[in-house]
Amino acid sequence: MTALLDLASVSVSIGSAPLLDSISLRVDRGQIVGLVGESGSGKSLTAMAAMGLLPLIGGRVTGGNVRFDGQDMALMTDTQRRVLRGRRIGFVTQNPMTALDPVQRIGEQVDVVSRLHLGLPQAAARVRTLDLLTQLRIPDAASVAEAWPHQLSGGMKQRIVIAMALAGEPDLIIADEPTTALDVTVQAQIIQILGALVRDRGLALLLITHDMGVVAQVCDRVAVLYAGRLAEEGPVSDIFAAPAHPYTSALIGCIPQDGMAQGSLRGIPGAVPSALAMPPGCRFHPRCERASDLCRTVVPAPESCGQGTVACHHAGVIA
């Protein structure tokens, strides 16, 4: 089966800085795939590459290819790519405060998506908008549609952004940290609503997050990025039960959990390296407790591991 979104060994540079190194990732229809890693690991850049938006930030694909529904995005014209975004790929940004036009009413901002991408007349577009807002559990959708962005709370605004992403009836939603800017109770609601909508409609969702709890809650598969490389990828149930890559298990161990003994939370020592000073060998080795001489010199190749892949010389070995 053709994957809906298929990144095959994609490398990306901005200027002379190589930022993504041979990332492979696929998202199938009906699937929720989590993309995790610390800041600077390349999560958002991967999303930009998947949408063909790299030129906006001066980036370019230097290797591999990105296919959407079997079509190579590099071979598309700008117009084709633009139609793809909005119509077949919906995007939910991290910050709903800046994603909405402050001088346009909420309803109009959602209407325009289905007018533009589905060719609906205004009246039909508004019916769709109200329907979407209701599905996103926005109370009193009709009056919210008449409101201005500044009149809504952050959680409400994020639901509007999700409505805009859904309005073009896309096959794939890419959500970049959709709840980071929101309060915890609102965060949980939005994640749950987004997950349910994607499931009900049989859509695919690429969910970028730094929160392993969110991944465990809604995703089917997860890809863990570290410093521009894929550390591990596989089914959520396998990866949380037995993370093969030490970085994955360290990330899971960073979340304080009930009943955790004092002193058991240690974090990951050090920090993500800068793109201009990547360590040789495995990029995680300076922070890794399993690191050996091999790790310091030889880049670990991705190898299949159960139903996923892992790039580690000491995969699965519990230190």
Partner 1 sequence: MTAPLIRIEHLTRQFQSGGGFLSRPRSMLAVRDVSLGIARGEAVGVVGESGCGKSTLARLVLRLIEPTSGRVSFDGTDLATLSATALRRMRRRMAMVFQDPYSSLDPRHTLTQVLAEPFQVQRQPLPPGTIAALLAEVGLPEGLADSHPQQLSGGQRQRVGIARALALRPDFLVLDEPTASLDVSIQAQIIALLADLRGRLGLTCLFISHDLGLVRYFCDRIVVMYLGAVVEVLPDPAAAPRHPYTHALMDARFAPDPAQRKRLAPLSGEIPSPFALPAGCAFAARCPHATDLCRRESPRLSDDPAHPVACFHPL
- The site for partner 1 (CB under 8 A) is made up of 38-39, 137, 139, 153, 155-156, 183-189, 191-192, 210-218, 236-237, 240, 250-260, 262-263, 265-269, 271-272
Nearer to partner 1, 155 or 168 (CB): 155
Q: How far is the CB of 125 from partner 1 (least distance, A)?
A: 26
Q: How far is the CB of 155 from partner 1 (least distance, A)?
A: 7
Q: How far is the CB of 290 from partner 1 (least distance, A)?
A: 16
CB contact set of 310 (below 8 Å; sequence gap of 6+): 231, 232, 233, 234, 244, 245, 302, 303, 316
Nearer to partner 1, 56 or 318 (CB): 318
Nearer to partner 1, 269 or 280 (CB): 269
Long-range Cβ pairs for the range 284-291 (8 Å, 24+): 284/226, 284/227, 284/231, 284/246, 284/247, 287/247, 287/250, 288/246, 288/247, 289/246, 289/319, 290/246, 290/314, 290/317, 290/319
Alpha helices in the chain (DSSP H): 43-50, 78-87, 96-99, 106-118, 122-135, 141-145, 154-167, 184-201, 212-218, 236-241, 246-252, 293-297
Nearer to partner 1, 119 or 139 (CB): 139
Q: What one-character-per-residue DSSP string does 272-286 give?
A: PPPTTSPPSSSTTGG
Neighbours of 268 (CB within 10 A): 17
Nearer to partner 1, 84 or 272 (CB): 272
Nearer to partner 1, 22 or 44 (CB): 44
Residue 157: name the closest of 89, 95, 112 by CA.
Answer: 95
Nearer to partner 1, 1 or 241 (CB): 241
What does the alpha-carbon distance between residue 187 and residue 94 come to, in Å, rounded to a whole number?
Answer: 12
Q: How far is the CB of 139 from partner 1 (least distance, A)?
A: 8
Q: How far is the CB of 272 from partner 1 (least distance, A)?
A: 8
Q: How far is the CB of 266 from partner 1 (least distance, A)?
A: 5
Terminus-to-terminus CA distance in the chain, angstroms?
A: 38
Q: How far is the CB of 311 from partner 1 (least distance, A)?
A: 18
Q: How far is the CB of 107 from partner 1 (least distance, A)?
A: 19
Nearer to partner 1, 71 or 249 (CB): 249
DSSP state of 102: T
Give the total residue count for the chain.
Answer: 319
Residue 111 near residue 126, CB atoms below 8 Å: yes
